Amino acid sequence: MSPSSILSLSLPADLLLLRVLYALRGFAVVGQTIAILVATYVFNMTLPLTALWLGVGALLLFNLVLFWWVFNTRKVTQWQWVGHIGIDLLVLTWQLFWTGGSTNPFVSLYLLPVALVALALPVRAVIMVGIATSVSYSLLMLFHKPLLMSASMLSPGMQLHVLGMWVNFLLTVALLTAFGSWMSHNLRLQRDKLQQARAKAMRNQSILGIAAHSAQAAHELNTPLSTLKMIAAEMKSRADEFPADLRDDIDTLDQQLDFCRDSVQRMVKGARAAAEHNTRKVSSLFRETLARFRLLRPEIELDTTLPDLTGTTVQEALAWQHLLLTLLDNAADASLAQGHKHIALNVTRHGQQLTIAVTDHGQGEPSLTGVALHSTKTHGFGIGLALADLTLEASGNQLTIETLPQGHVAYVEMPLREEPL
């Protein structure tokens, strides 16, 4: 169990401070043990050792009994919190009673539980603990066992008392510094996480708006695409009337219109597929994705290496197809910018996971290093990047880009599932 998981600010405040109190109680056991040994064997003080060791043992036993509960409970009431503080105050009062009462320089340790309660509990609980500490301090002024010091320790300057106050000051500074630094560090982490969550919420809201407009655009584009398809079909039927190079352009136009029509249909079907969890065979996913890319970018020479994908499926197939097309499209743009037409897609399988590597021949910093709803291309919108980021986030992965002497390699992991029989 790491310290970051034990004392994480993702926990509720009362549970977090309960664990802090548990840790401080452990420090108190160690500190009191050292103080008793030093006072007895270094300063030759006559102390009621039986009573003091009884107090240390009570704290240690209390911590041992509560160990499992403190680190496994998910809810703690304010009265349980107050009860724990009450035990600590009772033991502290017991120890101070046998060692000089209010004249003991460590009496200011009463302030620590008040500070902890003020951070986590309502005002009523803080007032109760404040009253308890004040009453305990006041009673110690009237009732306590005086410290019995050797003659060498008695002096007009009260050297022992001054030394105790010095040790108490150093202890207080150390605790406040450590606790304050920890709180400050975790608050900064919490603030960073909050900013990231806000940025993701804004991005998701933007994509939600795009999805709504896409649904409307799909219906609006259906009619003009059908008209253009009819015109292209008529032009193909009269292909003999056109020059040979123009006939090739007509064929390309017809293929592009087919692609646009299929894309519109996929937009309409996408919501239904998402609602059905959108699981597909991995082999058909790659086959369709590569066919779409070659249709969109006929000028690119794509080298592919695929493993045996028989019997495997992937969830969120539409999102993964968007991601693959985005990676291939960015690689194509990077290579063309340097006068190259070659890119490569290498897929290797490791158990139930695919490692996808897309290699380009571009130079400089890769363009797919961050995701936002803007594009580095003059003709793009940046939606592909946002969808790519959502896909990676949903699968718990992230994009890794390696810079080569002549190009880049983008790596991403795809989780696989066995195809049901």
Instruction: Give the pLDDT means over successive 10-residue stretches in the chain (421 positions).
Output: 48 71 90 91 87 95 90 80 90 93 83 77 82 88 78 51 63 64 67 74 61 62 78 81 79 81 68 58 91 88 91 82 86 89 92 90 60 42 54 68 87 81 48
pLDDT at 57: 96
CA distances from 312 to 104, 280, 391, 392, 414 (A): 73, 9, 19, 19, 11
Which domains does the chain show, CATH number per domain? 3-154 (no CATH), 280-418 (3.30.565.10)
CB atoms within 10 A of CB 66: 16
Contact indicator for 259, 296 with CB cutoff of 8 Å: yes
pLDDT at 4: 46
Type and span of the H or E element at 401: strand 400-404
Q: Vertex 289, ends 283 and 295: CA angle to 5°?
A: 135
* Residue that is written with structure tokens 């969109």 in the block: 296
Which among 77, 154, 83 is positioned nearest to 120, based on CA atoms? 77
Structure letter (DSSP) for residue 299: T
- 210-218's contacts with Cβ under 8 Å and 24+ in sequence apart are 210/373, 210/383, 214/267, 215/267, 215/268, 215/271, 217/267, 218/264, 218/267, 218/268
pLDDT at 398: 73
pLDDT at 372: 39
Question: What phi and psi, each to the nearest 5 degrees, are found at residue 72?
Answer: -125, -20
CB burial of 222-261 (b: ≥16 within 10 Å; e: otherwise) equals eeebeebbeebeebeeeeeeeeeeeeeebeebbeebeeeb
pLDDT at 379: 43
Contact indicator for 415, 314 with CB cutoff of 8 Å: yes
| Whole-angstrom distance, CA of residue 291 vs CA of residue 283 | 12
Q: Tokens for 270?
A: 């996408």
Q: Tokens for 184?
A: 């400050």
| Whole-angstrom distance, CA of residue 99 vs CA of residue 46 | 10
Q: Tokens for 125?
A: 């609980």
pLDDT at 377: 47
pLDDT at 79: 82
- Report the sign of the C-alpha dihedral through residues 221, 223, 228, 230, in that order: positive
Query: C-alpha dihedral over 332, 334, 338, 342, to 10 degrees?
Result: -30
3-class DSSP state of 121: coil
Which among 161, 174, 26, 30 is positioned nearest to 99, based on CA atoms? 161
Q: Tokens for 355?
A: 């490692």
CB atoms within 10 A of CB 156: 5
> Could you tell me whether strands 400-404 and 342-349 are parallel, antiparallel, or unpaired per DSSP bridges?
unpaired
